[in-house]
Chains A and B, each alone.
Chain A
Amino acid sequence: MIHKIWMILFIIGIGYSFVTGRVDLVNQAILQGASSAVTLVFSLAGILIFWTGILQVANKAKMLDLLAILLRPVTKLLYPKLGAHHKAIKYLTANMISNLLGLSSVATGAGIKAIQALQETNPDQKKPSFEMYTLLVVNTAGLAFIPTTIITLRSTFNAINPTDVYMPIILTASVSLVIGLICHHIWSRIRKVHSSASSPQRH
């Protein structure tokens, strides 16, 4: 899907520039786009590298284990049919923690391990299970307690108080997450989506 989207950007962009006569701007976009991508990476690299380092410190210091225990009520609420000993639980927790900390690349790694563990006990392996939909909704909602990237960006452009958007961000993301979960539960009931907890774990 990402391939089609990427090519459509070029095909529509170049095609429409013939209509509007902006071909010179397209040429300029190709030159500037490439170098601005590299500049963007370098401006964000420092803080990303710092956080992956700190996450490893927190991991070794057992702070992540503590967070997993603290977050157990939340995983129980989100995945009610999944027992505490299901293989997916620790990855689901790690995914949630890193999402909440705004570490999206760490979250993606944990999320992929979680969905693979859920697939092992998925009764119909061609269709996503109830828990997989929950995982997808949680991840697409983008709820984070530390929106590092946007705060960094705002301070780069000299915001008076870079963190003043904090409350609207948290409120928007949590309410849209709840809306997503409600839709997911209603749809799953109508379509009788199966649960990953309903079949024994395969080895």
Chain B
Amino acid sequence: MNVGVYIVPVFLLVAFGMAFWNKTAAFDDFVDGAKDGIESVVSIVPNLVGMIVGTKVFLASGIVETLTELADPVLRLFNIEAATLPLMILRPLSGSASLSYASELIQVHGPDSLVGRLTSVIQASSDTTIYIITIYLAAVGIRNMRHALKLGLVVDLASFLLATVFVRIFFA
């Protein structure tokens, strides 16, 4: 299961190998690209501050505990850890909100616990469906997004259920 360890080093090796072969100004290119990186990191700070404060307020109210308690019998039926339900609700809504919630779950339960691993898989194997559909269709001025949302949420639901199955298979 250690394939993952090689991906980043191999990618870097190929990139630098080809840069050598093509005699490009690799370090200048790196600095150029990294400057774009800083710009996008800085530009997401306001979005993150807005979204994280909103999420923290939502979570502090205790509504998620109420919802989780209400949904507990259903979750048991599907063998889903109740602690990860808020993450499943947040994941399609906001990348920053779900990332901060995932980080809290991993910190509290530990990265090598069942909840910690399930959190990692849920967070990494799906994306911010509603945000993606909104910005992509907004970019071409299409307002008709009902069908796209249904499709996106089917993909999310499938990946949450699959995550619980695969985590149990690999770490049982």
Binding site for B on A (CB under 8 A): 1-2, 5-6, 9-10, 12-17, 20, 22, 25-26, 28-30, 32-34, 36-38, 40-41, 44-45, 48-63, 66, 101, 104-105, 108, 111-112, 115-116, 118-119, 122, 125-128, 132-133, 135-137, 139-147, 149-151, 153-154, 157-160, 162-173, 175-177, 179-180, 183-184, 187, 191
Contact = CB atoms under 8 A, between A and B. Distances in A.
A135 B121 contact: no
Nearest to B136: A115
Nearest to A3: B134
Interface in B103-134: 103, 106-107, 110-112, 116-117, 120-121, 123-127, 129-134
A135 to B, nearest CB: 7
A59 B148 CA distance: 32
A149 B51 CA distance: 18
A167 B106 CA distance: 19
Contacts of B141: 125
Given A37-B48, A53-B33, A150 B123 contact: yes
Contact of A176 (B24, B36, B158): B158
Given A40-B100, A48-B41, A49-B34, A179 B155 contact: yes
B166 A172 contact: yes
Contacts of A150: 102, 120, 123-124
B70 interface: no
A180 B155 contact: yes
Given A33-B57, A147-B124, 19 more contacts: A2-B130, A5-B130, A15-B61, A20-B61, A29-B53, A37-B51, A41-B44, A49-B34, A54-B15, A57-B33, A62-B18, A128-B148, A137-B155, A140-B132, A142-B125, A159-B116, A165-B120, A173-B125, A191-B147
B68 interface: no
A37 B96 contact: yes
Contacts of B159: 141-142, 172-173, 175-176
Contacts of A52: 33-34, 36-37, 40
B30 A187 contact: no
Contact of A111 (B51, B123, B136): B136
B89 to A, nearest CB: 11
A49 B58 CA distance: 31
A37 B45 contact: yes
Contacts of A101: 11
Interface string B8-52: 100110111011011011100111111011101100110011111
A22 to B, nearest CB: 5
Contacts of B130: 1-2, 5
